[in-house]
């Protein structure tokens, strides 16, 4: 049996659109020692592909990190197959909050050095000593204390569209940058209660261990992250302390948690929290764009990209080869935002 997809993206998307059954979007992770990540990856691929599971899964010697879409009628069988692996037996499955079932259209399972790129090279660092889990009510209770420090361990573009009340942003583009920054920002607060959170729990769990490794005493992390918190808070009738939209790493680019819109269109400045990728294939910048600007600029992030977007495909392809490298539209560095067009 094939261990990789061999069908074109266009055909896969057509097949997804034609499906008549409902899909469930799920995320999960587990830090655990995997002796042979490649063999585990191949075995898992066969089991999930047979059930028409789509999504993105990373496997490493330190564990597994997954965001997937499962046909609803295969959900129980999926869980049985997953739990058959001893180190995954009984793990929490985070069910998406706002889900249209079209989050993924292909299954990709990749072996990586780590399931979260953290930049940690200290051989004495261990995930065995990590912070204390907080369930939804415990999180609400502890963060009612004004002396509790709440730390968002996500990237800037995630924090921008939604975050917990009074949460501190660690302003960076990558998790590997955030870890030492968080230690430095809070170095005078080593005895305070520090609560860390992220989307599904994987980053804040590692961050809590990193903080303890650097001498912090009272470190907590939100069990299951924003996704699990939201589901449990709604089930239990708890006040929702998260405001706005939760950014997710699939085709949805976000799931609505509350009605508040706390960010702005990067082009005109009006309230908006809809992320999109620039339609210029030589750019694909992730940015926030309102419906009016999307129509005005054809889904592009700048007038330069809009001009390129309307060129003949062959011309665009030549430009992407580097014939013209002086145009900012082709800057693929970590620059997040461009000046607003009306500026």
Is the separation of the CB atoms in 255 and 97 below 8 Å?
Answer: yes
Question: Active-site positions?
Answer: 198
Q: In what order do the strands lie in the sheet with 255-256?
A: 162-164, 242-246, 255-256
3-17 per-residue burial string, b: 16 or more CB within 10 A, e: under 16: eeeeeeeeebeeebe
* Assigned token pair, 236: 């239990």
Q: State whether residue 45 is helix, strand or coil.
A: helix
Is the separation of the CB atoms in 96 and 250 below 8 Å?
Answer: no
176-209 per-residue burial string, b: 16 or more CB within 10 A, e: under 16: eebbeebbebbeeeeeebbbbbbbbbbbbbbbbb
Quote the Cα angle for 43-55-114, to 5°: 65
* Assigned token pair, 154: 């996500």
- Find tokens 């583009």 and name the residue: 173
Is the separation of the CB atoms in 162 and 244 below 8 Å?
Answer: yes
* Assigned token pair, 55: 């999504």
Is the separation of the CB atoms in 73 and 35 below 8 Å?
Answer: no
**Strand-strand pairing, 54-60 and 107-111:** parallel
Is the separation of the CB atoms in 190 and 215 below 8 Å?
Answer: yes
Query: What CA–CA distance (Å, rounded) separates 95 from 97?
Result: 6
Query: What CA–CA distance (Å, rounded) separates 101 from 68?
Result: 10
Burial of residue 77, with CB atoms counted within 10 A of its CB: 0-12 exposed, 13-18 middle, 19 or more buried: middle
């Amino acid at each position: 049996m094939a261990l990789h997809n061999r069908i074109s993206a266009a055909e896969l998307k057509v097949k997804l659109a034609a499906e008549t059954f409902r899909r469930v979007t799920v995320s999960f992770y587990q830090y655990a020692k995997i002796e042979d990540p490649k063999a585990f990856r191949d075995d898992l691929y066969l089991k999930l592909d047979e059930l028409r599971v789509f999504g993105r899964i990373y496997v490493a010697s330190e564990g597994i990190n997954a965001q997937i879409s499962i046909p609803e009628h295969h959900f129980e069988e999926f869980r049985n197959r997953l739990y058959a692996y001893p180190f995954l037996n009984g793990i929490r499955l985070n069910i998406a909050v706002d889900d249209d079932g079209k989050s993924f259209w292909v299954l990709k399972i990749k072996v990586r050095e780590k399931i979260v790129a953290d930049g940690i090279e200290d051989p004495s660092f261990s995930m065995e000593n990590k912070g204390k889990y907080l369930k939804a009510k415990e999180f609400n209770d502890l963060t009612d204390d004004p002396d509790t420090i709440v730390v968002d361990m996500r990237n800037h573009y995630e924090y921008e569209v939604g975050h917990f009340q009074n949460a501190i942003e660690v302003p960076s583009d990558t998790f590997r940058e955030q870890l030492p920054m968080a230690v430095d920002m809070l170095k005078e607060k080593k005895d305070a209660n520090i609560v860390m959170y992220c989307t599904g729990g994987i980053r804040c769990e590692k961050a809590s261990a990193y903080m303890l490794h650097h001498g912090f005493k009272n470190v907590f992390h939100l069990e299951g992250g924003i996704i699990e918190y939201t589901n449990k808070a709604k089930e239990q009738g708890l006040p929702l302390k998260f405001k706005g939209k939760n950014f997710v790493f699939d085709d949805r680019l976000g799931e609505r948690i509350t009605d508040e819109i706390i960010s702005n269109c990067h082009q005109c400045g009006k309230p908006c929290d809809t992320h999109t990728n620039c339609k210029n294939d030589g750019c694909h910048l992730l940015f926030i764009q309102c419906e009016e600007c999307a129509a005005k600029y054809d889904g592009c992030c700048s007038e330069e990209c809009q001009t390129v977007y309307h060129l003949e495909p062959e011309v665009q392809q030549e430009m992407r080869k580097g014939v013209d490298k002086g145009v900012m539209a082709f800057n693929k560095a970590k620059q997040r935002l461009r000046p607003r067009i009306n500026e």
